Amino acid sequence: MITGVIAALVGCVALADESRAPGPDVAAVRARLAARHQSRAVWMHQALNLRPDQEARWRSMLAVMAPDSPAAADRDETIRRFYAGLDPAQQKTFDRMVDWSKPRSDAAP
């Protein structure tokens, strides 16, 4: 009898699991975010026409801007350092590419 009750409970749990709507595929979401981050990075790098002496700050900025970056607390300071290393024409381009008044998803292609 106990075996029958256990089997019935296991069956109910299995049915409950099957009836739940599937959640988002976390791996797919992370892959999509990483691809978008990479696409945006290529777009910005080309538009800014960075010089070799600006590459180290560029890589630092990309590292803190990556999805799930543990260095997220350093983002503002890292972006400020990167921006300060740009020449005036590059700063103007950067300002046009990054619209801080809109959500991040609306500011890039």
Instruction: Summarize pLDDT for 11-44 with one digit per residue, the tens.
Output: 444 444 455 556 678 888 888 888 888 888 899 9
Q: Domain residues for 71?
A: 24-106
Give the Cα separation of 67 and 73 in Å (integer): 13
pLDDT score for 3? 41
- Would 51 be classed as within a structural domain? yes
Please classify residue 61 by burial: count the beta carbons closer than 10 Å to its beta carbon, then call 0-12 exposed, 13-18 middle and 19+ buried.
buried
| pLDDT tens digits along 44-59 | 999 999 999 999 999 9
Q: Is residue 45 part of a domain?
A: yes
Domains contained in the chain, number: 1
